[in-house]
């Protein structure tokens, strides 16, 4: 079945009271929103910023893990020293006390590292969502402008998938697609910079 007939059937079923002649005059458009999102220059900028933040977070986490590993090594050495048979009872007690303090310190450090990791992951996730939402808002604004300017009645997203992970739009003529118009309009700002 051709897209025009599908669109006409959809329009008729949605507006059953509209005359059939109006359904035949529908102007249908398609857009690949994934291609628009990927082709928008600000998407690449946003991804670069998020990747930079991820790299910085990984460096900070690695630094904390390095400090934790050094403290673990110190605890291991204290434990080895406390296990030496030639130590006096007083020296063993001091080493055991030092070991217990170091183990408590390690417990605190481990919790801090885990909290840091969880906090940074949440922050990066929130940053990514905010950035994506901002980009989608900008894209939707330009899509709406193009739809209005070209007087489309119905617009379908070619990249959309059904619940069965099958493309919703199986086929459409290239003449219906206005993806490149939207990408060009979005990227016009990058040429001004």
pLDDT average per 10 residues of sequence, the chain (193 residues): 47 49 75 94 94 95 95 91 85 88 93 95 96 95 94 90 81 86 89 62
In the prediction, which pLDDT does 9 show?
46
Q: How far apart are CA 147 and CA 141, in angstroms?
A: 10
pLDDT of amino acid 2: 46
> What structural domains and CATH numbers belong to the chain?
3-192 (3.30.910.20)
Q: What integer pLDDT is reported at residue 175 of this predicted model?
A: 83
Backbone dihedral angles phi then psi of residue 133, each to the nearest 5 degrees: -60, -40
Mean pLDDT over the full length of the chain: 86
pTM of the model: 0.69
What pLDDT score was predicted for residue 23?
55
Residue 37 and residue 85 in contact, taking contact as beta carbons nearer than 8 Å = no
pLDDT at residue number 133: 96
């Amino acid at each position: 079945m051709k897209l025009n007939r599908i669109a006409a059937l959809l329009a008729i079923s949605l507006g059953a009271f509209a005359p059939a002649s109006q359904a035949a005059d529908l102007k249908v458009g398609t857009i690949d929103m994934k291609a628009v999102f990927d082709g928008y220059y600000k998407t690449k900028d946003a991804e670069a910023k998020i990747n930079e933040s991820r790299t910085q977070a990984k460096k900070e986490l690695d630094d904390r893990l390095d400090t934790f590993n050094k403290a673990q090594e110190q605890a291991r050495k204290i434990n080895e020293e406390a296990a030496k048979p030639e130590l006096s009872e007083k020296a063993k007690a001091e080493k055991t006390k030092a070991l217990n303090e170091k183990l408590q310190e390690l417990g605190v450090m481990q919790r801090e590292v885990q909290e840091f990791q969880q906090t940074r992951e949440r922050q990066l996730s929130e940053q990514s969502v905010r950035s994506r939402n901002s980009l989608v808002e900008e894209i939707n604004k330009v899509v709406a402008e193009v739809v209005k300017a070209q007087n489309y009645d119905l617009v379908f997203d070619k990249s959309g998938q059904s619940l069965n992970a099958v493309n919703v739009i199986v086929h459409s003529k290239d003449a219906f697609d206005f993806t490149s118009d939207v990408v060009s309009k979005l990227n016009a700002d990058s040429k001004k910079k």
